[in-house]
Structure 1
């Protein structure tokens, strides 16, 4: 690889970045790592301490926060490499760097599959019957879904290097613990990662939210039509004195056929409130998914187009998503918002 020979730009030891750029990345990643670990740790503690948050959907939310914490911890091993000017990795052994690279790639891949699980969970909950949802989301099946979301990325990241396709370790071009771009089959390894980690879960996410959008649109259209029909059935005003009917009598002693009882009215109000709450949760989690896809797409676009010179810029966007998620929960999620705000004010409750 031929590097620029302009003497006004100082490239270190075969890297694709100048020393000021590497210092910028080391500081930027350090800030993002600290924010991601703190924010996602708060989410994990909130679920552990609050019974209301311990539900099926939040199993995947917890897994997502765990992947963000682990990927941040794994990339922490790359920060000294970017900041230093040594030819190779700082430590004598490359094993920690190889392990850190594997952890980062596996955790990020698990994040994508976890977001697909979240999208599918909301889709089944909103568009299918309660019986279908309860049949699909049993404790054993949920555990299997979480296991698969870790197993697929692990196989896609670890198996190819063991087969001689690509390698993990200290990459001299980016000075990070990553996949080694100087490996003879690095391009094949990049394509394997893309094929395993991105298209399938992205397709599940897109289809799930399209189905949710269609269902919600149909639901509100039907409710609007029902309201219009009820209004059209109201009797027109007349100058004549209306005949006395049952509507002017005291209804406390008996309930007329077809009229909603107070108990039924209260139940309908409760169901309506729960439905609106589920829509709000789905909307909040859609924002989480959308933010991750936006942050995740640049780096994978660079992988496909072989734009190695800008990989670290794309990685900054990717790690920003780990910081954004807790903020989204705290800002809009109807269950997480009060808990996280109470925790910040040191008034967390177990209720």
Structure 2
């Protein structure tokens, strides 16, 4: 038998490139599996906090809960991504399931980006406008419309190109996952409608809006703190001057009273003198109500509202940390391992970052999570079908 007629093939008759990438794909599958577990339980915990504690049922937390739902749905698609990732024979399930996974993944991942826009915009109006204006903007109807648009935009980006035949959905043998498959033109080039739509409406436009919103919040807080500091400094000078004048007048009045008491003579002078001495604080407050009533206001930068806004910005910053490596690897295909969807390892990590940030930074969510783990449930286990109108209390949650 001539041994030159035989060749050693990788297991399962896979191409050599796929065979070499199966090891890294398994490691990536393990990483994605850990992300799915953390994201599922973390986002479930965030949703449970809003259900259990009425204090957390605010307009801002409506968008945070919707964000947690989108991240929870993404975590549910990760096991199906792992199935395609470790498969050596293509997609082992019906094609319809792969199409559903692709639509759900694109829609929920895109809505996570737009939720950052809605949350940031909500914080901006809450801080920079009056309570009446805020309540008018974020009424029940307007809030429902905003949420609908937040989910509609990413769903349209994936479903419209698929409906008009500009792209297909299915199993992509390149990254070994359910994704969009661009159609080929007669000249051999690919349609890039979905790529352009996703790049603009799911990345560039919302992230630019987020940067503008938080820049507006930062500028407003900085200006407000400067005004408050200037007002406090000026008020302290005025209070010092008024207190000096008041002390001079009171000293003169006390001298006159002591002279009058001495003129009356006798032991009554000591009693009257003691009475005058005991009433000096009350008289001083009555003669100088401005110095007693005016106190430096609390700085805007030190309020709970500003701390919560910083925490929401941490969520945006975390998303940028996941998006930048994703974009770099997408643009430069030489980075990463061939046949491995390495960009998804960074992008999908975002779904478990939000509950970690809210659980460790947000003061009210942190307290609610602590109570849940300790078994102290202060609110009824009832889902409210209505959203309370924004109020002063809602600004701090």
Q: Shorter-chain TM-score category?
A: 0.7 to 0.9
Point out the more displaced range, 128-137 or 274-283: 274-283
Which secondary structure does the structure 2 equivalent of 1:335 belong to? helix
Equivalent of residue 89 in structure 1, options 91, 95, 114? 91
Q: What is the match of residue 203 of structure 1? A: 208
> Do structure 1's residue 244 and structure 2's residue 247 form an aligned pair?
no
Which secondary structure does the structure 1 equivalent of 2:348 belong to? helix
Contact 1:127 1:211 (8 Å CA) reproduced: no
2-side partners of 1:278 and 1:215: how far apart?
Answer: 13
TM-score (norm 2): 0.75
Deviation at 1:206, TM superposition (A): 0.7
Deviation at 1:243, TM superposition (A): 3.5
2-side partners of 1:200 and 1:117: how far apart?
Answer: 13
Where in structure 2 are the equivalents of 1:274-285 lying within 5 Å? 276-285=303-312
Deviation at 1:254, TM superposition (A): 6.0
2-side partners of 1:249 and 1:280: how far apart?
Answer: 39
Q: CA RMSD in A?
A: 3.3
Contact 1:166 1:185 (8 Å CA) reproduced: no
Question: 1 or 2 for the larger relative contact order (CA 8 Å, sep ≥6)?
Answer: 2
Q: What is the match of residue 35 of structure 1? A: 38
1-side partners of 2:197 and 2:180: how far apart?
Answer: 12
Q: What is the match of residue 221 of structure 2? A: 216
Q: What is the match of residue 317 of structure 2? A: 290
Contact 1:119 1:204 (8 Å CA) reproduced: no
Equivalent of residue 64 in structure 2, options 55, 61, 78? 61
Point out the more displaced range, 65-74 or 166-175: 166-175
Which secondary structure does the structure 1 equivalent of 2:349 belong to? helix
Deviation at 1:180, TM superposition (A): 3.0
Deviation digits for residues 138-176 of structure 1 (CA, Å, limit 9, x no counterpart): 011001000001101101011102222222211111111
Q: Give the length in aligned residue pairs.
A: 335
Instruction: Give unpaired runs (5+ residues) of structure 2.
Output: 1-8, 254-278, 381-397
Deviation at 1:189, TM superposition (A): 2.4
Point out the more displaced range, 151-160 or 122-131: 122-131
Q: What is the match of residue 312 of structure 1? A: 341
Which secondary structure does the structure 2 equivalent of 1:198 belong to? helix
2-side partners of 1:274 and 1:224: how far apart?
Answer: 11
Q: What is the match of residue 137 of structure 1? A: 138
Deviation at 1:216, TM superposition (A): 0.8
TM-score (norm 1): 0.84
